[in-house]
Structure 1
Amino acid sequence: MTLESVLAFCALCLLLELTPGPNTFLVLRHSLHGARTGVATALGSAVGAVVWATAVAVGLAALLERSAQAYQVLKVLGGLYLVHLGVRTFVRSRRAARGDGPALDGGHGAGLARAWRSGLVSCVLNPKVGLFFLAVVPQFVPAGNTVRGTLLLGALEAVVALTYLTVLAHVAARAVGWIRRPRVTRALDRISAAVLTAFGVGTVVSAR
């Protein structure tokens, strides 16, 4: 694997990260509670990318490609999870607006663990990530080195995603003073809820 191909692959990964997706909105949402929470979400997403790279290396994603039913099931599960996140965000925003409960989820440690899980599950249940590794990664993997090359490129994709999402989390957290204004917080929570729900509904519908 040449340096040129590695740099080209990293540039492609960065371009894809710059396209807003569910993980971007999850990181922004969790960053409202601090940079560490946003970074935890980013780390979960990066681990999810490594999980997909490993799955592709052992042939699981090829099964999804051949089995339309398995692919549809995964898309529906991923879509329902995003809808769940969107609805939960909206309900928590309404409760916080009425003063019925805090905007944050549990203690600091619980919040970090929950943020990490949301990033991980969102990425693992996103079949488009698997198809990226299945369709794009082989173009950069040297012949005869499929498993090791796929895992290496998976690690590189995870590093690129983690770096970009970490920067995003810190930028969002620096603006937290303005963002934490009650009116702004409610608006951002509801926008985030709407976007996540829309992503989820669109994923479920496209699986039909």
Structure 2
Amino acid sequence: MTTATLLSFAGLCLLLALMPGPDSFLVLRYSIGGTRPGVAAAVGVSIGSLFWAVVVALGVAALLEQSASAYRVVKIAGGLYLLYLGVRALLRRRAAGPAATGPVAASTGSAFGAGVLSCALNPKMGLFYLAVVPQFLDQVTFGSAMTLGAVEAVVALVVMGAFAVAASRLVALLRRPKVTERLETVSAGILAALGVGTLASAGGS
């Protein structure tokens, strides 16, 4: 595997990471509560992408391409999880009430776990690896697939981490209860909507 191949793959991964999606909205959701939860979610997303690298390296991801049922099951699981995260965030904000003077706190552990599961339950990541990795390799082996997976994970970590830091600092500049409450409500609503959309598309596929 040449340096040019790794750089080309990294460039493609950069474009993927910059595209808005469930992972970026998840990182935004936790970044509202502070830099540490946002970065923890970003780390979780990058670790979750390594799960798909392992799956592709083992050849299991081919099932998602060949089996509509397997793809639908993973998609439904991912949609339910996003819906759960969105609804839980909305309920926590409502429970905090109007007296809350800041964002509802989230632990770094829960943010990390949410990032891992969000990415690991996104079958589109598996199909991305399945479709793209062979284009950059003469022969797909466990080592070569994991190398490209590590590159994708690093790129995702850098992009999502930078996004988390920027978002948390922006929220800090707008540290007003009403602004924070609306941002949390909107981000939670987007997660729930993404979950509903994923479930709807899974049901129609």
Q: TM-score range by the shorter chain?
A: over 0.9
Length-normalised TM-score, structure 2: 0.93
Partner residue, 2:10: 10
Partner residue, 2:156: 161
1:127 aligns with 2:123: yes
Give the drift of 1:205: 1.1
CA contact 1:97–1:186 (8 Å) conserved in 2 = no
Partner residue, 2:39: 39
Of residues 196-205 and 49-58 in structure 1, the stretch that sits farther from structure 2 once superposed is 196-205
CA contact 1:96–1:102 (8 Å) conserved in 2 = no
CA distance in structure 1 between the partners assigned to 2:55 and 2:76 by the alignment: 19
Give ranges in structure 2 of 5+ residues lacking alignment. Answer: none
Partner residue, 2:76: 76
Of residues 58-67 and 12-21 in structure 1, the stretch that sits farther from structure 2 once superposed is 58-67
Give the drift of 1:146: 2.4
Instruction: Let me know the Cα RMSD of the aligned residues.
Output: 1.7
3-state SS in 2 of match to 1:175: helix
CA distance in structure 2 between the partners assigned to 1:174 and 1:151 by the alignment: 34
CA distance in structure 1 between the partners assigned to 2:157 and 2:121 by the alignment: 18
3-state SS in 2 of match to 1:12: helix
Partner residue, 2:24: 24
CA distance in structure 1 between the partners assigned to 2:182 and 2:99 by the alignment: 16
Partner residue, 1:141: 137
Partner residue, 1:187: 182
CA gap of 1:105–1:36, structure 2 versus 1, over 3 A, is: closer
Tell me the amino acid that sits aligned with residue 161 of structure 2: T
Q: What count of residue pairs does the alignment treat as equivalent?
A: 203
Deviations 1:65-84 (A, max 9, x none): 22211110110010010011
Length-normalised TM-score, structure 1: 0.91
Give ranges in structure 1 of 5+ residues lacking alignment. Answer: none
